[in-house]
Structure 1
Amino acid sequence: MDADTPEEPEMERDKEHPTEASPTSQRLGLRPRLEHFTWANFTCTQSTGAIAILLSETPHQFPGLRTAGLVIFLLNLVLLTLFSLAMLARFHFHPQTARGSFTHLPELFFVGSFWLSIATVIMCIQKYGVPHTGPWLVIVVRVLFWAYAAVSLLFSSTLFVVVFLKVTVEPQKISPAAFLMIYCTMLTGTIAATIVETQPPAQRLAIIVAGISYQGLGWTMSLVLMPHILGSLLRNGAGRANQRPGLFIPVGSAAFTMVSVVGCANYIPVEYGYFAAHPEAAEVLRVVALWMAIFLWVFTFWLFLLALLVNLPTTFPRIQGRRRLQARMGFSLSWWGIIFPNVGFTIATTYIGQSLESEAILWVATAMTVLLFAVWLLDVCLHVKAILTGQIMWPGKDEDA
């Protein structure tokens, strides 16, 4: 999202930029459109995988829900494969875009979406694969966790160095998508909270320590970025209407911290290592984790409420002429920013409700799940329509513009 760009109607932008191809005036083949297949498309796969995880975590299960989650997980694997092939095809047919995708704003912010998609795949394997297979898949998941931890840390560090050396980012114009550069590392803690339950005690403790450490890195860097995002909004306003859904991205900073800390604390191996010598420490950490999550919940809700209230004025179409509705905002890939961070917020709410044994909180989490699933269906339909109508994957329309 370009927070420094004032909102302007779509028709006015087309008049101001006549060199940009318009879908109504030109037809493009697949190869030239692949040039504009950016990393931001992986926000679709990270969100689709997150929805599959959410369906397995929602507190009020019913027959067929896990099957629906499994179908969405398999769909996400197909999409991730297709999107990866499309990105490789882009770099093959348009090799000049390979370097540019890592040095051009705002596209470079979205490179982390690929690794966030991989994180959701690992968690879905745990949720939908491990309960129905032998111990071998538990080992596979553990290996994937450590591989992801190493790769995500190396990638995130390298990406920040690239930004420092090759890109000039004005702090007062920074985009919320910048959080994606560190979220890929932060999700190591969420993976740990997801897989730790089925791991043997010796392996469990190591995974918990690594997960909490990575979560600390992600949360600390989020706190560094947060003032710049809020400062950019204060200075430049909310930006273009179709980019405003990206304002939900910061919600994930505190949301996934809650998920990681509470999830890991719930499965501390009390019979092993440090906790065998200090058995009371496990209970203390569970209490601390719960109340830390409660401490962060309203902050997370405040970030969610800010993004929601900013988007509401442009969500509903205006009446123009006689019985004619005109949309106030078009689709952009930033719309997927509504899903992924709020999945973390919903799961965190579920964990708090389960720990407090509060049926009211659990029903709130269930309602959040239903709403997120509905928005995911809307995003899928709009994404497909945007491809067919040239709203995305089109010259001048994407994050490489």
Structure 2
Amino acid sequence: MGYDRGAALPGLGARLGLRMRETIRQFTPNWFTVTMGTGVLALALNQFPFAFTGQHEIGRALWMLDICLFVLFSLLYAARWIIFFDGARRIFGHSVVSMFFGAIPMGLATIINGFLAFGIPMWGEGVVPVALGLWWLDVAMAVACGVLIPYMMFTRQEHSIGKMTAVWLLPVVAAEVAAVSGAQLLPHLAGEEAFRTLVLSYVLWAFSVPLAMSILVILVLRLALHKLPSRDMAASGWLALGPIGTGALGLVLLGSNSGPVFAAAGLPEVGTVALGIGIVGGIMLWGYGVWWLLLAVLKTARYVREGMPFNIGWWGFTFPLGVYSLATLALGRATHLDAFAAIGAGLIVCLAAFWVTVAVRTLHGAWLGYLFVSPCLLTTSSDTRVEADFV
């Protein structure tokens, strides 16, 4: 009797179908941190202060990969809401998973910035309206995350200081990331549209940064009283660099790009003040970030000695370090200090090493399927370990 190849195919197809269905059922917004890390590396490599062969091309390839990943993840998450609505809506009551809604607009912001860095050289200024339209969508999502997620924390979720981590920052920081994108759009806009974008970007910065700094104060208290989080949360120690780096970057870019816009609005002296505030404020925030950076390095070294299990939360090593690197380079351009360029280059090298390490392990975990876990579907206390592995 010969081997019936046709009989094996339905079984294989059924298994693949079941695996895809389970992947969709377990898909959560934390996967958008992959797009955040990939996008910020693309932007950072494109600004690397010491030119190397293929610099722009590598950055552009990563940006295109970022777009593909964002589209794929959006389709998977939309499919979850359509097919598994009852399970998907449980996220609103979960104290950890809901925080990752902020990763969606932040991932989109890296694509918007990439249109300006890579899209314009390829397709010309015609991509600016596309970037601007996506920016308005990003602003809407960032504001919604910044208000609704904290509201759910206050009304329907269970939280405590002892269980607090820097993950609390994720929904809050999205607005200041949108402010940075707005600042980069300014040189490509004119008239009332430019002035409106500038003012809104400052509002978005203020909407996010003071609240994020408040959360960091509470986080210091939590660390002093309850010590370090579990090893599963090791990468969360780097998240503090996110609002600090983005806050500094936003001030510098808004100050640097606002002069012509304020002048066109009849406020040339305000543009001069904005530039000064951007440089001085950016330097001060950058110095604050040095403390958190050194603390993150010390904590990570301790976790490595104890054994640090891999999980999707390792992407927390990438985006915060990336925006802090970009802020460092922006300060170098604004102050003309070579030290900032050298430090920024070193940080980007570390960022690239982190990205390669985490990307390889993520591909492996995604292929085997164990990284697709939705803790909000868990109902028993025995599932605590699985929830820790999620972040």
Instruction: Quickly name the TM-score band, shorter chain normalised.
Output: 0.7 to 0.9
Give the 3-state SS of the residue equivalent to 1:217 in structure 2: helix
Residues 1:180 and 1:67: Cα distance change in structure 2 (over 3 Å):
same
1:38–1:398 contact (8 Å) kept in structure 2: no
Counterpart AA for 2:76: A
Equivalence for 1:360 = 339
Equivalence for 2:270 = 281
Aligned positions of 1:2-401 closer than 5 A = 29-270=19-260, 277-315=266-304, 328-394=307-373, 396=383, 397-398=386-387
Residues 1:39 and 1:291: Cα distance change in structure 2 (over 3 Å):
same
Cα deviations across residues 145-173 of structure 1 (Å, max 9, x unaligned)? Answer: 23322332134322222222221222442
2:176–2:250 contact (8 Å) kept in structure 1: no
Q: Counterparts of 1:32 and 1:144 in 2: how far apart (Å)?
A: 31
Cα deviations across residues 359-385 of structure 1 (Å, max 9, x unaligned)? Answer: 232121111111101110111011122
Q: Counterparts of 1:118 and 1:297 in 2: how far apart (Å)?
A: 24
The alignment yields a C-alpha RMSD, in angstroms, of: 2.3
Structure with the higher fraction of residues in helix conformation:
2
Counterpart AA for 2:363: V
Counterpart AA for 1:241: R
Q: Counterparts of 1:266 and 1:201 in 2: how far apart (Å)?
A: 17
Q: Counterparts of 1:357 and 1:220 in 2: how far apart (Å)?
A: 28
Give the 3-state SS of the residue equivalent to 2:308 in structure 1: coil
Give the 3-state SS of the residue equivalent to 1:35 in structure 2: helix
Higher deviation after alignment, 214-223 or 233-242: 233-242
The number of residues matched between the two structures is 363
Q: 1:223, CA displacement in angstroms?
A: 2.0
Residues 1:350 and 1:98: Cα distance change in structure 2 (over 3 Å):
same
1:201–1:269 contact (8 Å) kept in structure 2: no
Q: 1:398, CA displacement in angstroms?
A: 4.4
Cα deviations across residues 94-131 of structure 1 (Å, max 9, x unaligned)? Answer: 33321112221210111111121111111111111123
Percentage of pairs with the same residue: 21
Q: 1:282, CA displacement in angstroms?
A: 2.3
Residues 1:93 and 1:67: Cα distance change in structure 2 (over 3 Å):
same
Higher deviation after alignment, 301-310 or 165-174: 165-174
1:219–1:257 contact (8 Å) kept in structure 2: yes
Q: Counterparts of 2:337 and 2:225 in 1: how far apart (Å)?
A: 41
Equivalence for 2:14 = none
Give the 3-state SS of the residue equivalent to 1:139 in structure 2: helix
Residues 1:61 and 1:193: Cα distance change in structure 2 (over 3 Å):
farther
Taking structure 2 as the reference length, the TM-score comes to 0.86
Counterpart AA for 2:91: S
Q: Counterparts of 1:291 and 1:269 in 2: how far apart (Å)?
A: 16
Q: Which runs of 5+ in 2 are unaligned?
A: 1-17, 375-382
Q: Counterparts of 1:63 and 1:205 in 2: how far apart (Å)?
A: 38
Q: Counterparts of 2:262 and 2:85 in 1: how far apart (Å)?
A: 52
Q: Counterparts of 2:125 and 2:59 in 1: how far apart (Å)?
A: 22
Runs of 4+ in 1 over 6 A off after TM superposition: none
Counterpart AA for 1:351: A
Q: Which runs of 5+ in 1 are unaligned?
A: 1-27, 319-327
Counterpart AA for 1:306: L
Residues 1:261 and 1:29: Cα distance change in structure 2 (over 3 Å):
same
Q: Counterparts of 1:293 and 1:40 in 2: how far apart (Å)?
A: 29
Q: 1:86, CA displacement in angstroms?
A: 2.4
